[in-house]
Chain A
């Protein structure tokens, strides 16, 4: 079974530029998560989708971050404009369904550096 796919793996941009990340979850997983992991910290949830609906985006900086999951499968996360403090690893995860306590499966992440 294929795991969670993410691209790109690495991205370097200048502040005020825009960037987009892509995620393809495990087939059949209804729930998709985007986490931000700043160096030296644990991951923090940015947004959770159940199929193509948003369940939780309370910690998403909506003035600059946006995310969508149009057909309930793939998802994109966008930052526009980027700030220096957005430098982090962006992790996508998926699980069977929520809320049910199912384990989440993580992709390899996208390491973003904002200069």
Chain B
């Protein structure tokens, strides 16, 4: 079965420093991978996705993610963190079959300190 794992419950980083939120995946076949962000009392917002092509994917709000097939990883990155980036981040993989069902990780809370 398709799955993603987010090994860190929380990531703390100082404003202006680079940030990385980790995600590893387990799929059969070629993965479709997504990152979403959730702010308090709001729904999930799409950040970026990888389907095929360049391993480095650029998304919204200055975020990017690197697809690494050998390490089965899809880590989310940003060169310079902002306090406003503090939120809950979810990695997701599209399930196999005839749907676009997303299988989500458990989420990583990012805290950016001034």
Binding site for B on A (CB under 8 A): 4, 6, 31, 33, 40-45, 48, 55-56, 91, 93, 95, 98-109
Contact = CB atoms under 8 A, between A and B. Distances in A.
B56 interface: no
Contacts of A48: 99-101
Interface in B75-107: 90, 92, 94, 97-102, 104-107
B104 A42 contact: yes
Contacts, number: 65
A112 B3 CA distance: 27
Given A43-B44, A106-B45, A107-B43, A101 B106 contact: no
Contacts of A6: 43
Interface residues on B, range: 20 to 34
Given A45-B102, A48-B101, A101 B43 contact: no
B43 A106 contact: yes
14 contacts: A4-B43, A6-B43, A42-B90, A42-B106, A43-B44, A43-B104, A56-B99, A93-B43, A98-B100, A101-B32, A101-B49, A103-B34, A106-B36, A108-B42
Given A42-B92, A48-B101, 19 more contacts: A6-B43, A31-B100, A33-B101, A41-B107, A44-B104, A45-B101, A56-B97, A56-B99, A91-B44, A93-B43, A93-B44, A98-B100, A99-B94, A101-B94, A105-B46, A106-B44, A106-B45, A107-B43, A109-B42
